[in-house]
Structure 1
Amino acid sequence: MKERGGDHESYLLRLLERGAHTRRSLEERLLRRGADGTEIAALLGRFEALGYIDDGLYARLYVEGHGDRGKRRLRDDLRRRGVAEATIAAALEEKDDEEEAAFGLALQWHERGVESRLIAGRLLRRGFPPALVRSLLDRLERKAP
């Protein structure tokens, strides 16, 4: 059962009131609600023009809010959410030093007694590069009493 256009607009407003979304995620949700492609394009275009939908801002906020992840993981997460490659690249340029973030996590886990192989797995799953993980583990081993 298709909803009237105003209902889709109200639905879109409710989604945006709850938090930021990418254009693609909103498009997918509207499709599931029964909106047609023309209506979706018009609604999303209007909301984008008003500044309610901004994939660049979404990407920057996502990167900022997930400082415990490596650039690879952040890139993959944003791709899955439908953010364009150029937008992702711009957001990742602003990311703090990846090595510093990874070392902080590794040190914290090391001090709690987590084994090196488990620390490595955690860092790799968070998207930190394997060479960096090896380097950090070497650094921790040298630091250990």
Structure 2
Amino acid sequence: MARAICLRALTGAAKTRQQLADLLARRGIPDDAATAVLDRFGEVGLIDDAAFARAWVTSRQAGRGLARRALRAELRAKGVDGEEAEQALAEVDDDDERAAARRLVERRLSSLRRVDRPTATRRLIGMLARKGYSGGLAAGVVRDVLDETGFGTDDPDPDLHDPDLLARPAWDT
């Protein structure tokens, strides 16, 4: 029974040993039977927490732009131990983290065109903080992107001062 439960769970996506142990406990499988099945699955390579951690870090860092701190917390919640988690997190260096933060800010910036610079700065830093970035890194990346794009340094709506644009009918613009 424990074997069938684990195989079914592993069909959808890779799982950590801890996730499978928790599943077996919820299903009422005795500890000794669960341990025997989990040990065997580990021996044959169906459970590999180190590989799970590497894949998780790669996927979540690239896809969601999460910082190492957030990735570490997610791995801990999935039951990946400290050493395996740290080895997986070592694949993400400071440059990768900064580049991911920059992509997140650049992607979000277009939706903030109607707010002033302090509001945009606060919202962008908050977004990065929720993704696990440190305050210093977040503030630096936001400042750099806003400076490079000239966000908030020019007239908030230059079209208001263009007499040619104002003279044309709205459907003509």
For 1:63, the equivalent position in structure 2 comes to 57
Map of 2:32 onto structure 1: 38
Q: Secondary structure at the match of 1:35?
A: coil
Q: TM-score, normalised by structure 2?
A: 0.77
What is residue 27 of structure 1 aligned with on the other side? 21
Alpha-carbon shift at residue 140 of structure 1 (Å):
2.1
* Structure 1, gaps ≥5 residues long: 1-6
Structure 2 residue corresponding to 1:143, chosen from 144, 148, 166: 148
Question: In the TM superposition, what are the counterparts of 1:96-111 in structure 2 within 5 Å?
Answer: 97-111=96-110
For 1:134, which of 122, 133, 139 is the aligned residue? 139
The question of whether the paired residues in 1 share the 8 Å contact of 2:16 and 2:78 is answered with yes
Flag structure 2 segments of 5+ consecutive residues without an equivalent.
114-119, 151-173
Contact 1:22 1:53 in 2 (8 A): yes
Report matched runs for 1:90-129 at 5 Å: 90-95=87-92, 97-113=96-112, 115-129=120-134
Q: 2:143 & 2:26 partners in 1: Cα distance?
A: 50
Give the aligned partner of residue 3 of structure 1: none
Pairing partner for 2:45 from 21, 26, 51: 51
Calculate the aligned-residue CA RMSD, in Å.
1.2
**Cα distance in structure 2, aligned partners of 1:11 and 1:144:** 53
Structure 1 position 62, deviation (Å): 0.6
- 2: CA distance, partners of 1:138 / 1:43: 53
The one-letter code sitting in structure 1 at the alignment partner of 2:126 is G
CA distance in 2, matches of 1:123, 1:84: 26
What is the aligned length?
139
CA deviations 1:54-93 (Å, max 9, x no partner) are: 0001101110111210000000000011101000110011
TM-score, normalised relative to structure 1: 0.91
Residue 112 of structure 1: SS of its match in structure 2? Answer: helix
CA distance in 2, matches of 1:141, 1:35: 56
